[in-house]
Amino acid sequence: MKILFLGTNGWYPSPTGDTPCILVDAKDQYVVLDAGNGLYKLDSFIAEKKPIALFISHFHIDHISGLHALAKFDFKQGIDVYVGKGRVKDFETLVNPPFTIGYKPKPENIATLKTEIRLHELSEQEENIPFPAAAIEQHHAYVGHGYRFELEGKVVAYTGDCGPTDAIKKLTQNVDLLICECSNKKTEMPDAWGHFDPVQAATLAKESNVRQLILTHFGAQAYPSLEDRKWAQEQAKKIFPQTTAAVDGMEFHL
């Protein structure tokens, strides 16, 4: 299984990277994690007609700004978009006029999407979609969901944006790979907004019996250079040695 990081910044794009988008390329399935502006690169890496599942963690602009680029894609297999409980309305509001051309093709409208978009709500109970997956609500302003899914016998957890709570333990326990946000260098407590720093992420990985940890979603203001990401990796490795700090273009094999 190959994992490609198309966008690793949080908040806004900068010379360090685009906003969140990760492509998981498995034997029989593509999975896309979030639709930040890194999403525009997707057609450079999707070469096969395998099913495509797009998981959206929440609707802050840095995680969905790439949705307007759906109009450039021509994926014959279409895209199945999954959102957490109660977020269908948010997608339908955003991916329709006046914000975009609309995700449901209309015969009278020439400027329709070439790729069929099929929208689904995913629950916290594991479902087969057709692979096992769940959307587990996390602590983040205006509600966010993390995703836990299994492909090729490997379990992956993706936090989206969130802060440490009991809910995240349900998401991360015993996974082969945890892809965790790292917005902060040091999180001020109490954490009303909901974000992680490298120490918190590494502690979570250790306590959850995770095999591998990848840090991503580095806050563009807190981490203005890639050297800052190396610092985060070093801090996390002191607690959880199997840690990697992601950068745009990174390829990871699980």
pLDDT band at 110 (very low <50, low <70, confident <90, very high): low
Average pLDDT over every residue of 42-48: 94
Strands 21-25 and 2-7: antiparallel
Tell me the average pLDDT across 235-245: 98
Give the pLDDT band (50/70/90) at residue 191.
confident
Instruction: Give the CATH number, domain containing residue 180.
Output: 3.60.15.10
Residue 240 predicted with pLDDT over 90: yes
Supply the pLDDT for residue 108.
58
Q: What is the count of structural domains for the chain?
A: 1
Concatenated DSSP letters for 102-159?
Answer: -SS--TT-SS--SS-EEEEEE-SS-EESSSEEEEEEEB-TT-EEEEEEEETTEEEEE-
- Between 102 and 112, residue with greater pLDDT: 102
pLDDT for residue 158 = 98
Residue 192 has pLDDT above 70, yes or no: yes
The pLDDT, as a whole number, for residue 190 is: 83
Expressed as residue numbers, the domain containing 125 is 2-253
